[in-house]
Amino acid sequence: MSKAPEMKAAALTTDKCKHLNIVVAGQGAIGSLWCWYLTQYSAVNLSTVTRAPAFPTSPTISSFPNTPSAPKLKKQLSFSHFNGQSYQYHCLLADDKTLNNADLLVVCLKSYDAAQLVNNIASKLAPTTDILLVHNGMGVYEALSDKIKATHNIYTCLTTHGAFRPTKSHVIHTGLGSFDIGRHAFVQNEPAPWFNALKCALPNAHWQSDIKTKQWQKLAINCVINPLTALNNVCNGEITQAQYLPQISAIAKEVSEVASSQDITLEANTIVEQALAVAQATANNVSSTLADVRADRTTEINAINGYICQLAIEAGISVPSNSALVEQVNALLKSAAPSQ
Ligand SMILES: NC(=O)C1=CN([C@@H]2O[C@H](COP(=O)(O)OP(=O)(O)OC[C@H]3O[C@@H](n4cnc5c(N)ncnc54)[C@H](OP(=O)(O)O)[C@@H]3O)[C@@H](O)[C@H]2O)C=CC1
Ligand SMILES: CC(C)(CO)C(=O)C(=O)O
């Protein structure tokens, strides 16, 4: 276990970057990745929201009441870089005061948990707190309350970084990717005020003026790769085999029609090409849906192909391939099996 490189924090601290109060909600794989990189950047005051204090907390500080003068709860965590180096770090747990002072709430939960968390803690946030949703699939924004959408600026982050959490207190950055960030539901050329700090702290953070189109492109790729890999219990590369092409074409055609109903242009043959290219580029990956199925965890299929089905109903479009995939993937979980 090494000490975190001090040079990095110093190098990242430029006076171009404003000091920010950031709360990261969710201490899973991606939330822990955010926390590690943000704690290395001294211009950010970071605290976290977890479901339960499941992480070991320092015995010397864990039992203080939440008064302004008392030390706050701290979690001891470790981070392993994909180069093999490991480091220890700690995060403060957010209390009502830190939530109320937050400039930015970064929500790193699975798509099926994210909206409920935000709806539950929004009353503790000041109206000036911006909310950044980091998840696969779609539909989280739509599930936020109207009041939250009217009060806060909502942003979306798509990530291709890989993170794995072998234990509740240890995260491994398994693959270097990028963070694409933009204003949800708006085309916004000007980066958000806090974006420069994120750009300084995180590896490969990019502002996207039209995140919605990017989100749809990623959704379309996930609609192809995730259910097919899960149902056939294969790594991503396998679905580039010719036998999968008719099913891939059928999925892509339906996704293209539904995208069009949302004023998004995504040609079916482009979806096929992009999905096959990503499947090839990530040939040895176990897709997140297959990983969830293997672990008998709830999948995000309802936010992927299920989102297409939901929009299709609203638009009166028939999507039999996507509907069947959602049903079949949901039926794979042991917990979904009918009791005898
Ligand atoms: N991991 C990866 O490499 C990638 C993930 N993504 C996407 O990022 C999103 C997050 O994924 P990932 O980090 O892997 O998922 P994880 O399951 O590792 O993390 C989700 C975390 O959310 C926590 N959580 C759930 N409900 C609450 C709540 N009410 N309050 C506080 N915390 C809560 C869980 O708590 P608990 O620990 O108690 O279960 C868990 O720690 C997903 O949409 C995923 O598809 C995208 C690209 C890559
Ligand atoms: C792009 C892909 C398919 C990579 O595995 C992914 O996003 C996932 O597994 O959810």
Atom 7 of ligand 2, residue of closest alpha carbon: 222
Domain 213-333 classified CATH 3.40.720.10? no
Pocket test for ligand 2, best of 278, 294, 300, 305 (most atoms within 8 A of CB): 278
Atom 43 of ligand 1, residue of closest alpha carbon: 135
Pair of tokens at residue 155: 């942003």
Pocket test for ligand 2, best of 287, 299, 305 (most atoms within 8 A of CB): 287
Angle between helices 245-261 and 320-332 (to 10 degrees): 110
Contact 75, 90 (CB under 8 A): yes
Contact 104, 130 (CB under 8 A): yes
**Does residue 51 line the site of ligand 1, with CB under 6 A?**
yes
Do the domains 6-209 and 213-333 sit in the same CATH topology, yes or no?
A: no
Domain spans of the chain? 6-209, 213-333
pLDDT digits (tens, 9 = 90+) for 151-205: 999 999 999 999 999 999 999 999 999 999 999 988 999 999 999 999 999 999 9
- 61 has pLDDT over 50: no
**Does residue 285 line the site of ligand 2, with CB under 6 A?**
yes
Domain 6-209 classified CATH 3.90.1150.10? no
Q: In what order do the strands lie in the sheet with 20-25?
A: 162-167, 170-175, 74-80, 86-93, 44-49, 20-25, 104-107, 130-134, 154-159, 179-183, 205-207
**Does residue 109 line the site of ligand 1, with CB under 6 A?**
yes
Sign of CA dihedral 197, 160, 144, 336: negative
Ligand 1 atom at minimal distance to the Cα of residue 175: 3
The ipTM assigned to this model is 0.98
- 62 has pLDDT over 60: no
Pair of tokens at residue 28: 């899973």
Atom 35 of ligand 1, residue of closest alpha carbon: 51
Q: How far apart are CA 123 and CA 107, in angstroms?
A: 15
Q: How far apart are CA 160 and CA 162, in angstroms?
A: 6
**Does residue 111 line the site of ligand 2, with CB under 6 A?**
no
- 223 has pLDDT over 50: yes
pLDDT digits (tens, 9 = 90+) for 254-308: 999 999 999 999 999 999 999 999 999 999 999 999 999 999 999 999 999 999 9
Letter string b/e over residues 191-210, b meaning 16 or more CB atoms within 10 A of that residue's CB: bbebbbbbbbbbeebebbee
Pair of tokens at residue 205: 């953070």
